[in-house]
Chains A and B, each alone.
Chain A
Amino acid sequence: MGEGSKLRNGLAQELSSMSQDEQVPIIVRYSPDRRIVRHKGPPMPGIQESYNYRLQPMAHMYATPRAIEALQEDDEVVRIYRDQPVHTLLDSALPIIQMPQVRSLGWDGRGVSIAIVDTGIDPTHPDLQGRLVDLADWVGEGPVDENGHGTHCASIAAGSGAKSDGRYRGVAPAASIYAAKVLRRNGSGMMSDVMAGIDWAVDQGVQIISLSLGGPGPSDGHDALSEMCDAAVAAGVVVCAAAGNDGPAGRTIGSPGASRLAITVGASTDQDIVAPFSSRGPTADGRAKPDILLPGHLITAARAKGTSMGTPVDSYYCEASGTSMATPVAAGLCALLLQMDPELTPDEIKERLITTSIDLGEPANAQGRGRADALRAIQNSISPPSSDRGDSQPPVAGPGLGLGCLTTLVAALLQSKRK
C-alpha cells in the first residue's frame, strides 16, 4: 500500500509491515457534513468501531490494513490518523514543528528579548537562570509568580531545560526574558493592567511580547487592548496573542486575539489536528482568525515554586493545556527568526510564519493558514547562519568548503548589500 494522502502519523509505513489480519487503532476524520460518523452500510470486515466523537466528525476504531485501504476509498473520509499514546511534552511537541532540526543549525534566540505579560515569573527556577532581565508588577502583589501560568509560558518560550537535562527545553533557550505581572495569583486581571504591561515592555525595548491571556469573544479588534497590541506592533514589536479556549464554537476569538496586527495563535494537538478547545473565528467584524496553530495540548514545562497550576509532574515541572501554551511557542519561533535576521519587521515575521505553515485541511477560522513549522520558517529566510555576525550567531553547519562555507559567503554578500 502506497502513502495515501489520507494517512497520517506514519500509518502508511506501519501498514506495510503488518500482517493482513492484524488490527491497528486509528482515528477517522469524516467530512463535516457527514451526519452519522461511522462506516456506512453493513459492518466492514476488519473494522471494530469503538467510539464516535461528538465535537468533531471523527470516530475511533481498530482496523486491518485491508479495511484501512477500503476506508481510503470512501469519499467522505478526509483523514485517517494512527492513534498514539498521549504524552505531549515540550520534548515531544516540539519535534512536530521540526525544532530538533532547527536546533541542530544552532538557532537558540540568543540576543533577542521576549516579554512574558502574564502572572509573573519564578525568578529562582533553574530553567530561567541568567536570562531574566527585568520584572514588573502591575497588580500590587509583587512580580513573583504565585499562580504558575507565567513561569510555564516563559519556559515554553525560552526555558533552558536545565533541571531536566534539556528534556523540557523551550523554543528559544538563550533568549532574554522580561516579565510583567498583569494577572493576579488567581489568574485574572483587568484589561488596563495588561495594557500597562504591554506599554512597559515596549518602553523596555523588547522585541517580542507574548500574551497567553484574553477575554470572552467575539471582539472586532477595536477594543482598547487589541488596539494596544496594534500600537505595539506599529512601534516595531512582534506581538503573539492567544486565540482563546472557547472552541470549538465559532466567533469565540476575544481580545487581544482579535488584534489586526498581532499573530493570533490557536492550539494543535499531538495528532496534528486543531485542539477542540482552541477558539474559532471569525472575529466580530468578520475577519478569519486565528492566524496559525502551534502545539498547545498537554505541554510539560517549568513549574513555579509553590504552585499547582495544571498537573504537577515533579517539583520543577507541570503539564498544562491551552492556547496559552501555543502562544509562547510562537514567541520563541519569532525569537529564532529575529536572531537569524534582526532586520525582519513584525509584519514580515507574521507573514513568514503564516506562509510557511502546514495546511491541516481545516477551515481558516479553525486553523488559520495551518500549523506553523520552525524549520520551514527558518529555511524561508534569505539570511543563513553565519560565523561573521558576532556572538549572537550560531555556528555554521558543515566543514571546509561545504555548505557552511557557501552560507557564510551568501551572508557576507547580503550584509555588504545592506551596508
Chain B
Amino acid sequence: MAKVDPSLRAEWKDNPRSSFSLIVRVTGDVGERREMLEDLGCQVKRAFRLTNSVSVRCSGAVALTLTRRRWVTKVERDSIIRALGG
C-alpha cells in the first residue's frame, strides 16, 4: 500500500512552502518518533499511542521528506470532521 495518496503528494510538490495538517503513522515508540518528527521540522500537535500515529503541521517540502523514512508507514491529510445533525 502506498504511504501517501498520489494527489496529496502532488499538492506537496506544487506547494512546497505551504503548510499542511497531516497524520503520520509510524513504527516503533511513538514518543521517540514524535521527537524525530520535530527534528525534521514538523510542528507536532498530538501523539496517539492507540494507533501509533502523530498529528503534525509542516511544509510541503518537509512532508515530502517524511515518506522517505522507513519508520513512517503512512501519511494522510488531517481532514475536517463535522457534526451530523441539526
* Size of interface on A: residues with Cβ below 8 Å to B: 48
A192 to B44 CA separation, bound complex (whole angstroms):
11
Q: Check if A195 is an interface residue, CB within 8 A of chain B.
A: yes
Q: Which residues of A contact B79 (CB under 8 A)?
A: 190-191, 215, 223, 225, 255
Contact B81–A183 (Cβ < 8 Å): yes
A233-271 residues with Cβ-Cβ distance < 8 A to B are 235, 242, 244-245, 255
Interface of A is mostly: mixed
Q: Which residues of B contact A213 (CB under 8 A)?
A: 81-84
Known contacts: A191-B23, A192-B55. The answer to whether A322 contacts B48 by CB under 8 A is no
A172-202 residues with Cβ-Cβ distance < 8 A to B are 182-183, 187-196, 198-199, 202
Known contacts: A224-B76, A228-B48. The answer to whether A191 contacts B81 by CB under 8 A is yes
A60 to B79 CA separation, bound complex (whole angstroms):
41
Known contacts: A192-B55, A199-B50. The answer to whether A215 contacts B85 by CB under 8 A is no
Known contacts: A192-B78, A199-B48, A228-B50. The answer to whether A183 contacts B84 by CB under 8 A is no
Known contacts: A190-B78, A192-B21, A192-B55. The answer to whether A119 contacts B50 by CB under 8 A is no
Known contacts: A245-B84, A323-B84. The answer to whether A192 contacts B50 by CB under 8 A is no
Contact B46–A320 (Cβ < 8 Å): no
Q: Check if A153 is an interface residue, CB within 8 A of chain B.
A: yes
Q: Which residues of B contact A228 (CB under 8 A)?
A: 48, 50-51, 53
A309 to B84 CA separation, bound complex (whole angstroms):
12
Among B23, B82, B86, contact of A224 (Cβ-Cβ < 8 Å): B23
A347 to B81 CA separation, bound complex (whole angstroms):
26
Q: Check if A412 is an interface residue, CB within 8 A of chain B.
A: no
Contact B86–A322 (Cβ < 8 Å): yes
* Size of interface on B: residues with Cβ below 8 Å to A: 22
Number of CB contacts from chain A to chain B under 8 A: 114
Contact A232–B25 (Cβ < 8 Å): no
Q: How far is the CB of A122 from chain B (nearest CB, A)?
A: 15
Contact B83–A119 (Cβ < 8 Å): yes
Contact B23–A215 (Cβ < 8 Å): no
Known contacts: A228-B51, A232-B50, A235-B50. The answer to whether A192 contacts B23 by CB under 8 A is yes
A376 to B1 CA separation, bound complex (whole angstroms):
42
Q: Which residues of A contact B23 (CB under 8 A)?
A: 191-192, 195, 224
Q: Which residues of A contact B45 (CB under 8 A)?
A: 192
Closest 3 CB pairs of A and B: A324-B85, A322-B85, A192-B55
Binding site for A on B (CB under 8 A): 1, 21, 23, 25, 45-46, 48-51, 53, 55, 76, 78-86
26 A-B Cβ contacts within 8 A?
A: A119-B83, A149-B86, A188-B83, A190-B80, A191-B80, A192-B23, A192-B45, A195-B46, A195-B53, A196-B48, A199-B49, A199-B50, A212-B85, A224-B23, A228-B51, A228-B53, A231-B51, A232-B50, A242-B85, A245-B84, A296-B85, A320-B86, A321-B85, A324-B84, A324-B85, A325-B85
